[in-house]
Amino acid sequence: MTKPPSNNPLPNKERIKLPRQRVPEQDPQVRAHNFQEVNLGFPAEQARQESLRCIECNKPGCIDLCPVSVNVRAVIDLILAGDYLGAASKVREDNALPAITGRVCPVEDQCESGCVLGKKGEPVGIAYLERFVADWERETGQFGSPVAAPATGKKVGLIGSGPASLACAGDLIQMGHQVHVFEALHELGGVLVYGIPEFRLPKDIVRHEIDVLRRRGVVFETNVVVGKTVTIDELMQEEGFNAIFIATGAGLPRFLNVPGEHFNGVYSANEFLTRVNLMRAYRFPEYDEPLYPCQDRDVIVVGGGNTAMDAVRSALRLGAKSASIYYRRTEKEMPARVEEVHHAKDEGVHFEMLVNPVEFLGDEKGNLTSVKCIRQELGEPDDSGRRSPVPIKGSEFVVPCHVAIIAAGTSANPLIQSTTPGLAVTKRGYIAAKEDTLATSKPGVFAGGDIVTGGATVILAMGAGRKAAKAINEYLKGLDEPKPEQAQATVQA
């Protein structure tokens, strides 16, 4: 089988000899003290060099393992042709927020883990390339807004403004529907603005993507807590929404339920990151939101996911004397992106594995002073095949600590579920939605993203948003056709 014409001048055996390009980064010593972006992105020449490595597989594993099947191979070829705008459009066919996924996708589990080059050497730096084309597009102001289908007159309400909703909004507006996004907070973007810090995902980039949607006609309304300010039934019955997409994320913080969690200085990661990112407490007093002081103090973050890494690296930037990750399993089991763990280590974060806090200790003013932990070992594999940690008797120890941040996961916020009659939920309180259409038990209401799956990833949430847009489009078409019962009735008559 012959390959389609390629813009890569090199024979395959040359390509595989090329080393993976290292992306320029802020120096660890410097960046550990500022909130500017760590990863500086490829300049054009490096993007070209990296693209040259791709051997243009017939069955690209990269595409198979991208949750939204970005046509990586075609994108790389367009980069080699120098058509960066074309490359960006190609990405956008499947991924509405490439500047964001190019920064936060856990590629070691996704596209890059499918890249054939990874079998012997290092995979192609796909996320870096995706980011390159998206940044190029934004920085040169060249976003060509796609032509939308004729107006359908149908109105869809999207609840929440995280990646699931943003992706859904982009597709629905393209299909000619009216799209209205309701967000509880004062800023749009969900976890992208209140969770993931500036040094990993600059807020301007999220804002830009939202502005693009706004210019395309999506209406955003902040400060609306659906379930409180207005209910789903009211939106559908009184405000004329024909369909609803619920994408409210997995917002509820989990605590450890050990004694002393009320001491001043003990935070949920949600609160700590919200204060730092959404409220910009790192710029206090210019911004008014206070934060319990981290400067020159010992900070411990409990957990091993992206949230824990973001919290610990933020604490470091706020001037912590020591910033440590306490995780109950081993590094191998840590769910965080590999790049973040490396970055954290380079910046001087301390990692303490196989430990779990059993009590927080404080002084008479109620301020946290230390934490008592217990060591653990990995026991027999459980039903899920994972070896779960077992406490080692008598191994308790106490470490000084002034700020403790608990990043032990989140669960479903029950607000919408409890105010929407007829909306079925799962055992764990997430919204039950059909796998193929994301339809819920309530007609016209769809749901996706973390509120259905539990805490997952940006690209999976976006994938859900697109799937829902497609299903909503079908549903809205169906509204105009005579109902099957009615049709039958006419036939019988």
Partner 1 sequence: MFEIVEARPLARGIKQFVIKAPRIAKKQRPGQFIIVRLDESGERIPLTIADADPQAGTITICVQAIGKTTMLMNMLEKGDFILDVVGPLGKPSEIEQFGTTVVVSGSVGTAMAYPTARELKRAGNKVVSIVGARSKDLLVLEDEVRAVSDKTYVLTDDGSWGEKGLVTERLKQVLESCKVDLVLAVGPVPMMRAVANLTAPLGIKTIVSLNSIMVDGTGMCGGCRVLVNNSSQFACVDGPDFDAAQVNFEVLMQRNNMYREQERTSIELLQADPGAELKKLREENARHACALDAVEASHD
Q: Which residues bind ligand SF4 (CB under 6 A)?
A: 54-57, 60-62, 66, 68, 70, 72-73, 95, 101-102, 105, 107, 110-111, 115-117, 124, 126-127, 130, 459
* C-beta of 51 vs 277, nearer to ligand FAD: 277
Site track for ligand FAD across 282-311, x = CB under 6 A: ------------------------xx--x-
DSSP H or E stretch at residue 218: none
**Residue ranges of E strands in 107-260:** 155-159, 178-182, 219-221, 243-246, 252-253
* C-beta of 207 vs 387, nearer to partner 1: 207
* C-beta of 56 vs 289, nearer to partner 1: 289
Which amino acid appears at position 19 of this protein?
A: P
Stretch that binds ligand FAD, among 30-38, 57-65, 101-109, 477-485 (CB under 6 A): 101-109
Residue list 434-453, contact with ligand FAD (CB under 6 A): 449-450
DSSP H or E stretch at residue 341: helix 338-347
385 near partner 1 (CB under 8 A): no
Distance separating alpha carbons of residues 263 and 366, to the nearest angstrom:
5
Q: Which of 8, 21, 161, 268 binds partner 1 (CB under 8 A)?
A: 268
Stretch that binds partner 1, among 42-50, 78-86, 169-177, 282-290 (CB under 8 A): 282-290
* C-beta of 80 vs 184, nearer to ligand SF4: 80
**Residue 109 beta carbon to ligand SF4: minimum distance, rounded to whole angstroms:** 9
164 near ligand FAD (CB under 6 A): yes
Distance separating alpha carbons of residues 198 and 240, to the nearest angstrom:
38
Find out whether 220 and 183 touch, Cβ atoms under 8 Å.
Answer: yes
Give how many residues touch ligand FAD by CB under 6 A: 42
- Would you state the structure tokens that stand for residue 353, as one six-digit string? 């594995």
**Spatial CB neighbours of 1, under 8 Å, sequence gap ≥ 6:** 58
**Residue 127 beta carbon to ligand SF4: minimum distance, rounded to whole angstroms:** 4
Q: Which of 370, 413, 440, 457 binds partner 1 (CB under 8 A)?
A: 413
Specify burial of residue 203 (Cβ count, 10 A radius: 0-12, 13-18, 19+): middle
258 near partner 1 (CB under 8 A): no
- CA angle 188-132-50, nearest 5°? 150
67 near ligand FAD (CB under 6 A): no
User: Strand, coil or helix: what is 353?
Assistant: strand
CA contacts within 13 A on the Cβ side of 254: 14
181 near ligand FAD (CB under 6 A): no
337 near ligand FAD (CB under 6 A): yes
Distance separating alpha carbons of residues 284 and 169, to the nearest angstrom:
34
**Spatial CB neighbours of 72, under 8 Å, sequence gap ≥ 6:** 60, 62, 63, 66, 111, 124, 126
**Residue 353 beta carbon to ligand FAD: minimum distance, rounded to whole angstroms:** 20
Q: Which of 158, 159, 218, 316 binds ligand FAD (CB under 6 A)?
A: 159
DSSP conformation class of 149: P
237 near partner 1 (CB under 8 A): no
Q: Which of 16, 148, 219, 258 binds partner 1 (CB under 8 A)?
A: 219
Distance separating alpha carbons of residues 384 and 400, to the nearest angstrom:
35
Distance separating alpha carbons of residues 239 and 233, to the nearest angstrom:
9
Residue with tokens 């026991």: 379
206 near ligand FAD (CB under 6 A): no
**Residue ranges of E strands in 188-331:** 219-221, 243-246, 252-253, 266-268, 298-302, 322-327
461 near ligand FAD (CB under 6 A): yes
217: partner contacted, choices partner 1, ligand SF4, ligand FAD, none (Cβ within 5-8 A by kind): partner 1
The dihedral of CA 224, 229, 232, 238: what is its sign?
negative
Residue list 354-373, contact with partner 1 (CB under 8 A): 365-366
**Residue 321 beta carbon to partner 1: minimum distance, rounded to whole angstroms:** 18
- Residues in contact with partner 1 by CB under 8 A are 184-186, 214-215, 217, 219, 222-225, 228-230, 251-253, 255, 261-264, 267-268, 270-271, 274-275, 279-280, 284-293, 365-366, 413, 415
- Residues in contact with ligand FAD by CB under 6 A are 104-106, 159-165, 182-185, 190-191, 195-196, 224-227, 247-249, 251, 273, 306-307, 310, 337, 413, 415-416, 449-450, 455-459, 461
